[in-house]
Chains A and B, each alone.
Chain A
Amino acid sequence: MEACNQQRALIPSYLDGELSEAQAAPLRKHLLACQDCRNQAQGEKSLKAWFRTEGPAEVPEGFAARIARRAFDGDTGEPVAPLPAQNEAPILRFVLAATSVAAAVLLILAITLRSSDLPSSDRLRADSDSPQQLEEVLRELDRVNAKAALEAERK
């Protein structure tokens, strides 16, 4: 069993042609004598059968001439921009534009509201003054009315 474990570990390298003759000879001898290890080797061979070559790869016509021309024209062959960045660009542009528009609208609103708060003349107005100022205005009105009434009585 120990011999089997040792030899089995060598089977993939043996089938890959990577063993020296000094390693391969005892393994071949062992495989002739051991059915289990032969089965193991057969399984490894079965796996290799999935990697059949489909024949020579097809090369597009004029490929070499095209590449040589492009190379001498200074084409680096590097992707101009990574694919994700290309996808993100329109979204990013939209977000930036929308943010700029929103900021401009907010600025205009703030200026408008601020200017509407400022008094439009020197005169005090009841609808926009503080309660203390209103009281003063009312007192002034009372005084004016009282004075007018007094003068009317005198007449």
Chain B
Amino acid sequence: MGTPMMEPAQAEDSQLVQETLAGNRMSFQLLVERYEGRLFSLARHYTRNPVDAEDIVQEAFLKAFRRLDSFDGRSSFYTWIYRIAVNTVLDVMKRRGRSPVQNVEDPELVGEARPVSCPAPDAGLHTQEVSEITHRVLEELPEIFRTVLVLREFEEQSYQAIADLLGISIGTVESRLFRARAKFKQKLLALYPEFGGA
């Protein structure tokens, strides 16, 4: 049995992990440089405050460093560090009083999702304005829904990747996304009724 083929970046990551474990600080710095942008991109969908976003990413990388010897290379380093980042974000949200992502007991969350037509953003709105509105609406959603929307719509993760990250089945990802989108439309129109006129 041969060793499974690795992408060049994945092989480089594994090499950097080994060097870090051997005590090479620069190798860990290179790993951070490779993935800091993606982790900041994730964090900014949970907090609009840059200092808070930095705290989240920092906590994720330091957590990863502590657990580096448990990285077995079966998944890519990116998948591994991204999973730690998602869990860190959810931990931080929990510490701030947001409901955990696994909580599906709330009847409101498991109830029938009514289809609502969704208006597109006005053509005159700038990207920044659209983003502010979207994040304002996301802030109102239960964590369970915000996370699947962030991972799917902003982070463009596949259903399988979302299932792996959150430890749920693909079927659950699909149904959760369906409900999350319905909730998003409802909240959007409740907070910004002016978009409902079209």
Contacts and interface: CB of A to CB of B under 8 A. Distances in A.
A56 B119 CA distance: 26
B82 interface: no
Of B40, B50, B118, B130, most A-chain CB atoms within 10 Å: B118
Nearest to B181: A47
Nearest to B57: A63
B127 A52 contact: yes
B133 interface: yes
Of A12, A56, A57, A65, most B-chain CB atoms within 10 Å: A57
A69 B120 contact: no
A16 B32 contact: no
Contact of B26 (A54, A58, A67, A68): A68
A122 interface: no
Contacts of B59: 77-78
Interface residues of B, number: 50
B63 to A, nearest CB: 6
Contact of B152 (A16, A58, A59, A78): A16
Contacts of A79: 95
B68 to A, nearest CB: 9
B131 A68 contact: no
A54 B178 contact: no
Contacts, number: 111
A21 B131 CA distance: 33
B45 to A, nearest CB: 9
B86 to A, nearest CB: 15
Contact of B25 (A50, A57, A68, A78): A68
A75 B36 contact: no
Interface of A: 12-13, 16, 18, 43-54, 56-60, 63-65, 67-72, 75-79, 82-83
17 contacts: A16-B159, A44-B181, A46-B120, A49-B121, A50-B137, A64-B29, A64-B30, A64-B33, A67-B28, A67-B61, A70-B58, A71-B62, A71-B65, A72-B28, A77-B59, A78-B62, A83-B95
